[in-house]
Structure 1
Amino acid sequence: MKFRYTNLETCHEATGMVVIIDVLRAFSNAAYAFARGAKEIYPVANVDEALKFKAETPHALAAGEVGGLQPEGFDLGNSPTQTKDMDLNDKVIAQSTGAGTKGIVRSVKAETMFAASLVVASATTKFIRKLEPEVVTFVITGQYRPGHGDEDLACAEFLEALFDGQKPDPQPYIKRVFDSRDAIQHLDPNQTAFPLSDLDLCTHIDAFDFAMLVSKENGRHVMRAVKP
């Protein structure tokens, strides 16, 4: 198995098996939503699309962020601390974020897609290994600004080690998340929209035993929790 790395600027060229990574916080939050009973998550490109989906779909919710903050009209933000205590049983959610969901929408040539983060690391690699792809491309969504995205790169490198049959020590990867640029606001107690607990929740490696498969159905991307 070979591995390639790309980002939001170049992921439109990725083909075959594509793994879109957003540790802080989109695809960690999505995993917590599935754990709380969410049925499906529909990743979309922007806030307007999320609100349109919510308006047109009975009992649907909107989740996500702009600048890390919950947009007006959304039911959830992008915080696992908030999501982990919600009852989302059988809910359908439209998700719009600044990085993660854009990675899905922009990966237009991908044949198979998974959304990934550390909380679903082992399940993701187990599921993909069964599909026997020759090449896996990682989309490092956090690299959309200079100096950002090491938390997503750390996750990709952790996944690659798992694919290679290694048993990597998780601590260096967890430290990279806490040391990343996007973690800084979570370390500031005055930034109440960015709780420190999110960092702990997003670095709970293998918190869940499912992967997050992304399909395209009726012109929309849809994410579901699948067990390997």
Structure 2
Amino acid sequence: MAKASTKEFEDKSGSRIDAIYQALFKAILAQELMPGTKLSEEAIGSLFSVSRTIVRAALNRLHTESLVEFRQNRGAFVASTTPDEARQVFEARNAIEREIFSKLATTITDKQVAALENHLEKEHATSDAHDHAAAILLSGEFHLLAAHMSGNEVLAGFLKSLISRTSLILAQHSTHQESDCSVDEHAAVLAALRARDERAAGAAIVDHLQQVFERANIGQTKRTERNLSEILSRYA
């Protein structure tokens, strides 16, 4: 009985940690939580009705993914990026995504093309509705969906981390009002995949990432104060 009770406690703790992690991760990815935002353990714990120990475990998980930073005697904050770090993230994405999309062009099935077309329709809908947060999440998912379709889960894992860090970069620097991933640019990438053109697919994704980087105005920093509990309540 004791062992069962311990396992049940661990399962509940794990699910609570994951719930907090997912809420923070999505809010950061959607650029709702800006770099430099104080992540109060007390406020998060109150919102999710959990102890600060549970909150700290979720924050530590985000810290290992470079999304949260700890400042001595001040607590946890959404991570900030320097211009050099931003350039390195985009260089890494160029290398990884050229490989992913070039390979995918040689293996993509009609069913996978249809799935990407359906995803692109959702991107168009959120863009037309001016739903900035949803558009950002969908734009990142387009890249990840293609990465999983390529069959290389190691690269897909690397890409997930880089996309998250890209959201931090764009949240900190970009003044673009809509999704920084252009739907039209995604459509050009999809056209190359649909044509099964390996070279064109690689070139299209690199061109797209270059356009995103140029729109980001790296070096400029914007500051926006938002209410932590109000934002997280939408993802809880």
Scaled by the length of structure 2, what TM-score is found? Answer: 0.28
The structure in which a higher percent of residues are helix is 2
Larger Rg: 2
- Normalized against structure 1, the TM-score is what? 0.28
